[in-house]
Amino acid sequence: LSKTRKANVRKRLREVDSVIDTLVASGVECKQLDLVKVLPREGEMVPRDKYTTFSRTAKKHRKGVHKVPHFTKRPIPRTTPTGTTAGRRHMDYSGWTKEALIARLRELEQPGQREKTLSNEETQAPSRKKQRRAAEFDFSRFAQRKIALKFSYFGWPYHGLAQQGSLQGSEEKQRAEEQYPTVEGALFRALAKCKLIADDASCGYSRCGRTDRGVSALGQVAALYVRSNGRFLDEGEEAEGAVTQVAQNGGRRVLLPATGCELPYASMLNKNLPPEIRVLA
């Protein structure tokens, strides 16, 4: 701080002391006045407390009063809060006994040990909410129907339409898909994320054609069985509307919902597909 700024700080402190003296002389009694009466006066304050204020984020927990925003509503303390690193720095331990020093060390070590224990417990024991999320999705509770997806894609980021390693195991297929990404791989991941299919092997997937690496398509079509909002019909129950009976539903009859009541397949998939792949209908 410059000499002028320091003089202004001292002037403001003396003005505050004058207001406190006036209130004390008037005989006013209040809790807040009792708190400020014990504060050191301007002449009793050390330069560090006059020109700097406590800050938890600043270096050595101190920053200049000129860095405090003018619009702040918090008053600038005249002393460093107790229990902070800056406040403990001047604590005199020379007269403490051995037992008192050991007790003080244990007191200072306990908060860190408690935080470490809590963090380990949180890591090892997942919450009930996370456990519920990890529960497997039961596709048998929902009806399935066959649909045709019309989609378009820009093919230059992909190694063709067809998924790589269709005859390989799941781990080998995953490694092949990571090394050679395909349009079908992205489509199956979006379908699985939306819980529309359990996996690509059991959904009866078929396509009308295929493209090579770097080739785009504007009207590709694929057919597959997906989860539906339809409901299972009881044995002997009659219903008005479209009814389907396929092996994916265990031979049970399903009443298909109206077009406006079905799942919004296109919007669901487009939210989980990369921007270069879009489902049109």
Residue 171 amino acid letter: E
Select which of 34, 49, 200, 212 is catalytic: 212
Distances (CA, A) of 126 to 78, 114, 220: 45, 18, 43
227's enclosing H/E stretch is strand 217-227
């044995």: which residue's tokens? 235
Instruction: List, in sequence order, the alpha helices (H) in the chain.
Output: 3-26, 31-37, 47-51, 85-88, 98-124, 128-133, 170-179, 183-193, 265-270
Q: Is 92 a catalytic residue?
A: no
Torsion on CA atoms 23, 25, 27, 29, rounded to nearest 10 = 40
Q: Which of 249, 238, 65, 62 is nearest to 142 (CA)?
A: 249
Catalytic residue annotation: 212
